[in-house]
Amino acid sequence: MNIKTKRIKTPLNDKIVESLHMGDRVLLSGFVYTARDAAHERMLKALRQGDPPPFDLRGQVIYYAGPAPAKPGTPVGSIGPTTSGRMDRYAPVLIEMGLKGMIGKGKRSEPVIAAIKSHKAVYFGATGGAAALLAMKVKSSKVIAYEELGPEAIYEILVEDFPLLVVIDSEGNDLYSMGPKKWHTFKVIEEDERS
């Protein structure tokens, strides 16, 4: 597998998304929107009632995270990814409306992968357990919707060189299913410790 590191900026377009391949390392800069379960549920309810989403989804990236309270002089506290599967029932609709990227951790369902392929989107993985380090890549933060949800509100964050991995690319290649198969093809060469 040929692994590359690419610098990209939001908003994303088809050309950027199609240039990303499963396993690529990415440094993402620009505006990203945080949203977890409660915010997704609110967005879908609003859409079903004919109301617009709280931000224009076209070309945007949603980070499945709820930032911890910021310490003085910092835009956010720890900001690690949450399990993406909890957003699977909402994601296909948002992708259909123009969402181009999602950041989280864990596997995605077949309907999400089908939507990624149909609408040229991408799913990025962020490193779980590195929330404090990821916060250092956030340059500004403000609540733009559902403030009453606290950390589950929708935040607009400005990131710079936010480190990610392409988990599912626009062709549907999935690192969670294909990655382990690659590792099984490697042979372990044991050396005699006495030599």
Mean pLDDT computed over every residue of the chain: 91
How many independent structural domains does the chain possess? 1
Query: Looking at the domain assignment, is residue 133 inside a domain?
Result: yes
- Long-range Cβ contact pairs of 68-75 (< 8 A, separation 24 or more): 68/131, 68/151, 69/151, 70/141, 74/135, 75/138, 75/139, 75/140, 75/141, 75/157, 75/158
CATH number at residue 149: 3.20.130.10
- Residue 194 CA to residue 166 CA, distance in Å, equals 42
Residue 80 confidence (pLDDT) above 60: yes
- Residue 164 CA to residue 73 CA, distance in Å, equals 25
Residue 105 confidence (pLDDT) above 70: yes
The boundaries of the domain holding residue 22 are 5-183
Query: Looking at the domain assignment, is residue 67 inside a domain?
Result: yes
Query: Looking at the domain assignment, is residue 157 inside a domain?
Result: yes
For this structure, is 184 an active site residue? no
